[in-house]
Structure 1
Amino acid sequence: MYSILKSAHSGWRYVVLILLVLAVVQAISGWLGKKPYTEGNRKFNVFTLISAHIQLLMGLILYFMSGWYKADSSVALGRYWKMEHVGMMVFAIILITVGNARSKRGDDALVKHRSIALYFGLALILIIAAIIAMVKADPSRTAFGIS
């Protein structure tokens, strides 16, 4: 069960990253191009939110199944998996959730697009920073599976 979930979590990250990049590009395009915020925009952003939450749930299950919460924090690898990875990912999911919620409350299309662009963009930057930190903490891993 653990190896299946680990593979699913590892593969699902690409879905999340692709959706997040597309959502940010779409939001920036809508914001700067003064485009209307359509039902398609809303659905795409919600789908991005859902995919990120699925990734978080798989990650939390893996975290407690693997025992990383017991890791030695004085070692870079243990600290990364015990605190840094979890902290950055949870914060990224919070940013995505807040951005989606703020876009729902916005009065006009520009506010909605701007909320998505800013919050999803910050989450994307945080996720990429976490990937870079992972490669630094664990040299056996590569960024995005690329050597």
Structure 2
Amino acid sequence: MYTGIQHLHSFMTYLVLLGLIVSIVFAFMGMSGNKPFTDKDRKRGLLGLIPAHLQWVIGVILYFVSPLGISNATEGFMKDSTSRLYILEHPLTMIIAVVLITVGYARSKRLQDDKKRFSSIAIFYTIALILILVRIPWNAWPTN
């Protein structure tokens, strides 16, 4: 079960990255082109939001079933960089990224000015994407 969830979590990362990139590109295009923010643009924002939330749920499950997760949080884990990454740094950074994505999407729904709606998605999603890219454990990425 653990291996399956781990592979699903790794695979979902590609969907999250792709969804965020698509959402960001269309948001910057809408912002620079002074286009109206339509229902289609709202749905494009969901391309970044939905996979990120699914990934977060899978990550929470993995955090509790993985031997690298919470069960590894023993005394002195902060001294070990690998343990610190999996127990604290990766989960905390991803929670912050998902919160930023959620705030950016929610703001885009509430704002009235179209340019501000596009910029809300562009800015918040871009910051979240940077955080995600920084804290993905690339050295442990499954190759099979």
Provide TM-score, normalisation by structure 1: 0.88
Contact 2:101 2:128 in 1 (8 A): yes
Is 1:82 the counterpart of 2:81? The answer is no
Secondary structure of 2:78's partner? coil
> Is 1:54 aligned to 2:54, yes or no?
yes
Give the TM-score normalised by structure 2: 0.90
> How far did 1:73 drift?
2.0
Match of 1:32 in 2: 32
Identical residues among aligned pairs (%): 39
The residue aligned with 2:100 is: 95
Task: Give the partner amino acid of 1:116.
Answer: I
Contact persistence 2:93–2:132 (CA under 8 A): yes
Separation (CA, whole Å) in 1 of partners of 2:140 and 2:4: 19
Task: Provide the aligned length of Structure 1 versus Structure 2.
Answer: 138
Q: Could you tell me how far 1:141 is from its partner in structure 2? A: 2.9
What are the ranges of 5 or more consecutive residues in structure 2 without an aligned counterpart?
Answer: none
Aligned-pair CA distance for 1:47: 3.4
Matched, 1:7 2:7: yes
Task: Tell me the CA shift for residue 123 of structure 1.
Answer: 0.3
Report the CA distance between 1:50 and its aligned residue.
Answer: 1.3
Distance 1:51 1:41 in 2: 17
Note the C-alpha offset of 1:38: 1.4
- Consecutive unaligned residues in structure 1, runs of 5 or more: none
